[in-house]
Amino acid sequence: MTIHNFDLNNSVLNNFILEIRDSKIQKNAMRFRRNIERIGEVLSYELSKELNYTNQKITTPLGEKNINTTSEDLVLCSVLRAGLPLHQGILNYFDTIDNAFVSAYRHHTSKDKFEIRVEYLASPSLDQKILILADPMLATGSSLVAVYNTLKKLGDIKQIHLVCVIAATEGIEYIKNYFPKNTHLWVATIDNQLNDKGYIVPGLGDAGDLAFGQKI
């Protein structure tokens, strides 16, 4: 797995990460969603550099010009519900991409133990497609693995790009055992700790709740 960690170099991403982490600023749900969206846009731009391109001739009002354009067949899949703002950010840059949505949530079997349940999937065929799988928080890695196990039944996926906002080192090491070696992970920042409930520390809290309100 190739890991693209944008925490290693200073950029405008630092500002967006600060605002989604700050316990006061993140209370503004609209601002939180927009920052997640902007992070998705930046990561999409960087991801686009890894795709294949073909030359296309176009006609302008004053002549002709050859331009290299993306030639890949792409599908963007986001994990509901927290992945929606990130999905929109990626969609802003890959505006002709096919879309898929999947639900994955923690079903607690005890106070401290849980299993991941995937109960909804809407997706086109993934056969020979490049899959961009978006989930803002990569904590234990169990959700992404469960989602991948569901998606790979939809065809022979050509390549996978994982797009995350915050990842835990433990989760990254976990998913390496399940995703193909040519998978790329695009992540804005990495934290080194999970608490006893499997949440990223210092993290930012529950991304879904911060974006859309608390759930029952």
In the chain, domain spans: 2-52+70-212
* 3-class secondary-structure state, position 151: helix
State mean pLDDT over 145-160: 95
- What pLDDT does residue 104 have? 81
Cα separation, 117 vs 107, in Å, equals: 7
Fold assignment, 2-52+70-212: Rossmann fold (3.40.50)
Cross-strand partners of 200: 194
Count helices and strands (H / E) in the chain.
6, 12
> Which of the four pLDDT bands, split at 50, 70 and 90, describes residue 216?
confident
State pLDDT tens for residues 73-120: 999 999 988 999 999 999 999 999 999 999 887 766 666 677 788 889
What pTM value is reported for the model? 0.92
- What pLDDT does residue 110 have? 67
